[in-house]
Structure 1
């Protein structure tokens, strides 16, 4: 099965975190898919879109994600001029050298 669109409430994780979290789409883009607001690769702001993942395995301190923009978005589907976020998209957290990925697309 191919990659699916990601919506608000999608479960995300970091390879260096101890818990999963929920993606937030703030403010809502107005582009809905089923029951949620569709996310874009720009939905990557620490502690706004991306939650803390508990204790960082790299720093041994509380996680404060510092991720760059998501990669592997759908460039043919734009949400406020940014590619739509897909279930196979990832983001890198340079603070703890973790890879943030989508565990469940939220649909």
Structure 2
């Protein structure tokens, strides 16, 4: 079962060293668990996707340069996410403003080769007996 993702969702990049928290602007005026709901278009670096601490990807030019300067020893550098494309695939049957909603199984690709995924969707469902 997938859950709708909203503000406060915890994310992790496969090349990042720390988790980060999704930020969603309330422009769509749709709430999930009292928080603004996310769509696949919430992929803007720093606006929606904060850094993940340090980056370990040698595809990242700053990591490659620092690693070369350290004679080939992998040298992580500060994460600067580059996410030009929307999240994949979202929830095609749940639309928010004609855009698929973001769910906890969606993935976001970083230009430096990282795969960003949701660890916690930012909401929880409670079952009442």
Structure 1 runs, 4 residues or longer, greater than 2 Å off: none
Measured against aligned partners, the alpha-carbon deviations of 1:60-107 in whole angstroms (never above 9, x if no partner) come to 22111111210021112111221000100000101x210000000000
Structure with larger Rg: 2
Task: Please say if 1:10 is aligned against 2:9.
Answer: yes
- If the length of structure 2 is used for normalisation, what is the TM-score? 0.77
Aligned residues: 105
Extract unaligned runs of 5+ from structure 2: 58-62, 64-75, 124-129
Q: 1:79 aligns with which of 81, 84, 96?
A: 96
Task: Please say if 1:101 is aligned against 2:100.
Answer: no
Q: 1:69 aligns with which of 69, 79, 86?
A: 86
Q: Which has the higher helix share?
A: 2
Extract unaligned runs of 5+ from structure 1: none
- Give the Å deviation of 1:27: 3.9
Q: Distance in 2 between matches of 1:15 and 1:78?
A: 28
Is the CA contact 2:25–2:36 (under 8 Å) kept in the aligned structure 1?
A: no
Task: Please say if 1:29 is aligned against 2:28.
Answer: yes
Considering only aligned residues, what root-mean-square deviation do their CA atoms show, in Å?
1.1
Q: Distance in 1 between matches of 2:34 and 2:27?
A: 12
